[in-house]
């Protein structure tokens, strides 16, 4: 077997106790030695080409710690048409142009619409809490850059060693440099081996200390965020305080105006009190006037009673005059009749004339 990539280096690393190995893109297992397989408590060999999965199952049939899984891994969940190739040695390959170009005699033996599982969503990571002794090999050709670019820190927290196998034919573009930066920023030990074949291999060592640093960094980020939030709150409070100062100034101005209005009202109240005293004086005078008027009314009432009595006497006098008139008319008629009927004596006539004159004068006096 041509050992182009030696994973035994990881097993022999200082203070490393092998626990679990994930090998994404295990191929037909040509890069795995029996020593590597036997060193781990459990091994997950993940391969997208069904032909290679059959080879892996046959090759490691006696190893109870090995699990082979046929799965298509990518940066995100989707459905994609996968072209499965076979080279002249009947080794299975996938549709990675940088790899296929190295096998000019490779032919497509199967085309399949497959479910692509996002690397970060792979359920096999859920069974592990600690990163101690866990190794992740990423040997998936062209999609490796996209997976590294979007790799989750939750995955890195479960890995002690990350081995990135990258086709030599892939250019070192901006995406590659970004991926390298992401891993270097989170790894404590970095070694690199440039093979003379088809691959470059990068080794990244992570530790619990790095996780503590990450947690501290997250804590600092939270503190900085809280500080920014507090500064925002302080800025808002200052703005609110300025608004309240403006309101206080406005209220102070309105208070001054209210004080002036209050002074005017106090002056007006004093004037009202003076007017009130004047009204009381006028009221007293009016009562006195009313009393005088009442007295005059009483006197007028007495005079009215006197006038009523006089009016009654006048009515009686008028009635008496009417009676005298009637009597006078009767006597005048009687006189005429007497003159006509009798030849009265002169003396009696004179007497009668005197009586008549007396009555006339009396009547005249009454009138």
pTM flag (> 0.85): no
pLDDT at 76 over 80: yes
- The answer, yes or no, to whether residue 100 has pLDDT greater than 80, is no
Residues 6+ apart with CB under 8 A from 236: none
CB 145 within 8 A of CB 170: yes
Looking at residue 4, what is its pLDDT? 47
Residue 21 has pLDDT above 90, yes or no: yes
Tens-place pLDDT, residues 38-66: 889 999 999 988 888 988 999 999 999 99
List pLDDT tens digits, range 146-169: 898 898 888 888 888 888 888 776
- pLDDT tens-digit readout, 272-282: 888 888 888 88
pLDDT (0 to 100) of residue 2: 40
- Going by C-alpha positions, the residue among 266, 20, 1, 281 that lies closest to residue 159 is 20
Query: Using alpha carbons only, what angle is made at residue 121 by residues 117 and 125, rounded to the nearest 5 degrees?
Result: 120
Which strands form 20-24's sheet, in the order they lie side by side? Answer: 66-70, 42-47, 20-24, 134-138, 161-167, 199-205, 189-194
* Better-predicted residue by pLDDT, 39 or 346: 39
Does 311 score more than 60 pLDDT?
Answer: yes
For the chain, the domains span 8-206
Q: What is the pLDDT of residues 164-222, one digit of tens each?
A: 888 776 777 788 888 888 888 777 666 666 554 677 888 888 875 555 555 555 666 67
- pLDDT score of 191: 65
Over the chain, what is the mean pLDDT?
Answer: 79
DSSP 8-state symbol, 316:
H
pLDDT, greater one: 101 or 351:
351
Question: Could you report how far apart the first and last alpha carbons of the chain are, in Å?
Answer: 176
Compute how many other C-beta atoms are within 10 angstroms of the C-beta atom of residue 361: 10
45 Cβ neighbours under 8 A, 6+ residues apart? 23, 26, 29, 32, 56, 60, 66, 67, 68, 69
Backbone angles phi, psi at 28, to 5 degrees: -100, 10
Q: Which CATH class is domain 8-206?
A: alpha beta
For residue 215, the model assigns a pLDDT of 57
Residue 107's pLDDT band (cuts 50, 70, 90): low
Q: Which of the two residues, 174 and 107, has the higher pLDDT score?
A: 174
Q: Is 74 left (phi over 0), alpha (psi -120 to 50) or beta?
A: beta
Asked if residue 94 has pLDDT above 60, the reply is no
- Tell me the mean pLDDT in the region 115-121: 90
């Amino acid at each position: 077997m041509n050992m182009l990539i030696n994973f035994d280096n990881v097993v022999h690393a200082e203070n490393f106790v092998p626990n679990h190995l994930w090998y994404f893109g295990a191929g037909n297992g040509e890069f795995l030695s029996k020593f590597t397989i036997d060193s781990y408590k459990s091994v997950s060999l993940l391969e997208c080409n069904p032909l290679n999965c059959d080879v892996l199952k046959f090759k490691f049939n006696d190893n109870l710690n090995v699990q082979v899984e046929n799965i298509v891994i990518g940066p995100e969940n989707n459905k994609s048409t996968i072209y499965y190739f076979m080279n002249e040695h009947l080794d299975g390959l996938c549709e990675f142009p940088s790899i296929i170009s190295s096998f000019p005699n490779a032919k497509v033996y199967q085309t399949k619409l497959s479910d692509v599982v996002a690397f970060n969503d792979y359920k096999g990571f859920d069974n592990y809490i600690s990163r101690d002794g866990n190794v992740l090999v990423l040997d998936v050709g062209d999609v490796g850059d996209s997976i590294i670019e979007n790799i989750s820190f939750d995955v890195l927290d479960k890995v002690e060693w990350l081995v990135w196998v990258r086709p030599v034919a892939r250019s070192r573009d901006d995406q590659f440099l970004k991926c390298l930066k992401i891993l270097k920023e989170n790894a404590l030990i970095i070694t690199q081996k440039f093979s003379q074949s088809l691959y470059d291999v990068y080794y990244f060592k992570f530790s619990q200390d790095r996780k503590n640093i990450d947690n501290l960094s997250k804590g600092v980020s939270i503190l900085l965020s809280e500080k920014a939030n507090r500064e925002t709150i302080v800025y808002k409070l200052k703005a609110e305080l300025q608004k309240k100062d403006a309101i206080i100034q406005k209220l102070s101005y309105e208070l001054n105006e209210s004080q002036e209005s209050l002074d005017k009202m106090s002056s007006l109240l004093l004037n009202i009190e003076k007017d009130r005293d004047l009204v009381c004086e006028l009221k007293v005078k009016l009562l006195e006037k009313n009393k005088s008027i009442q007295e005059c009314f009483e006197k007028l009432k007495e005079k009215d009673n006197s006038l009523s009595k006089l009016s009654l006497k006048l009515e009686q006098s008028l009635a008496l005059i009417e009676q005298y008139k009637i009597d006078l008319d009767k006597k005048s008629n009687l006189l005429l009749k007497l003159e006509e009927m009798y030849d009265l004596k002169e003396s009696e006539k004179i007497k009668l004339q005197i009586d008549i004159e007396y009555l006339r004068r009396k009547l005249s006096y009454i009138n």
